[in-house]
Amino acid sequence: MGEQIVVGIDGSASAVHATRWAAREAARRNAVLRLVHIRHWPLLLPAEDMYAEELTAKGREWLATARAAAQAVAPDVYVVTDLGSGHPARELVEETEHAALVVVGSRGLGGFRSLLLGSVANVLATHAHCPVVVLRARTPEAPPPSDGPVVVGVDGGGTGTEAVEFAAAAAAAREVPLVVVHAWTYEGLLTAGRVPAGIDWDEIAAARRRSFDEELAALRERFTGIEVRGSLVRGRPVDGILEQAEHAQLVVVGAHGRRRLVPGAVGATAHAVLHHATCPVAVVGERRKP
Mean pLDDT of 264-272: 74
**Is 143 among the domain residues?**
no
Question: In whole numbers, what is the pLDDT of the chain averaged over residues?
Answer: 85
Confidence band of 198 (pLDDT split at 50, 70, 90)? low
**Is 156 among the domain residues?**
yes
For residues 91 and 174, state if they share a domain. Answer: no
Mean pLDDT of 269-290: 82
**Best-predicted range by mean pLDDT (60-64, 187-191, 201-205):** 60-64
Q: Among residues of the chain, what percentage have pLDDT more than 70?
A: 80
For residues 115 and 163, state if they share a domain. Answer: no
**Rounded Cα distance, 163 and 238, in Å:** 15
Mean pLDDT of 21-42: 93
Examine the pLDDT at 227 and tell me if it is beyond 80.
yes
**Rounded Cα distance, 103 and 92, in Å:** 10
For residues 154 and 265, state if they share a domain. Answer: yes
For residues 46 and 156, state if they share a domain. Answer: no
Examine the pLDDT at 180 and tell me if it is beyond 80.
yes
**Is 144 among the domain residues?**
no
For residues 125 and 200, state if they share a domain. Answer: no
**Residue 115 confidence (pLDDT):** 39
SS3 track for the chain: CCCEEEEECCCCHHHHHHHHHHHHHHHHHCCEEEEEEEECCCCCCCCCCHHHHHHHHHHHHHHHHHHHHHHHHCCCCCEEEEEEECCHHHHHHHHCCCCCEEEEECCCCCCCCCCCCCHHHHHHHHHCCCCEEEECCCCCCCCCCCCCCEEEEECCCCCCCHHHHHHHHHHHHHCCCEEEEEEECCHHHCECCECCCCCCHHHHHHHHHHHHHHHHHHHHHHCCCCCEEEEEEECCHHHHHHHHHCCCCEEEEECCCCCCCCCCCCCHHHHHHHHHCCCCEEEECCCCCC
Q: Among residues of the chain, what percentage have pLDDT more than 90?
A: 59
**Residue 84 confidence (pLDDT):** 92
More confident residue, 80 or 208: 80
For residues 15 and 55, state if they share a domain. Answer: yes
* Lowest mean pLDDT segment, chosen from 18-32, 54-68, 199-213, 264-278: 264-278
103: CATH: 3.40.50.620
Examine the pLDDT at 141 and tell me if it is beyond 90.
no
**Residue 199 confidence (pLDDT):** 73
Query: What total of structural domains would you count in the chain?
Result: 2
- Tell me which residue range forms the domain holding 235: 150-284
Report whether 86 contacts 49 (CB < 8 A).
no
**Residue 163 confidence (pLDDT):** 93
**Is 271 among the domain residues?**
yes
Examine the pLDDT at 156 and tell me if it is beyond 80.
no
**Residue 256 confidence (pLDDT):** 67
Q: What is the pLDDT of residues 89-116, one digit of tens each?
A: 899 999 999 999 999 998 654 443 433 4
**Is 224 among the domain residues?**
yes
**Rounded Cα distance, 180 and 226, in Å:** 12
Confidence band of 42 (pLDDT split at 50, 70, 90)? low
**Rounded Cα distance, 84 and 91, in Å:** 9
**Residue 176 confidence (pLDDT):** 98
Mean pLDDT of 34-61: 79
Examine the pLDDT at 192 and tell me if it is beyond 60.
no
For residues 164 and 104, state if they share a domain. Answer: no
For residues 61 and 122, state if they share a domain. Answer: yes
Which of 135, 163, 178 is the last residue in one of the domains? 135
**Is 255 among the domain residues?**
yes
For residues 226 and 263, state if they share a domain. Answer: yes
Which residue type is seen at 40? Answer: H
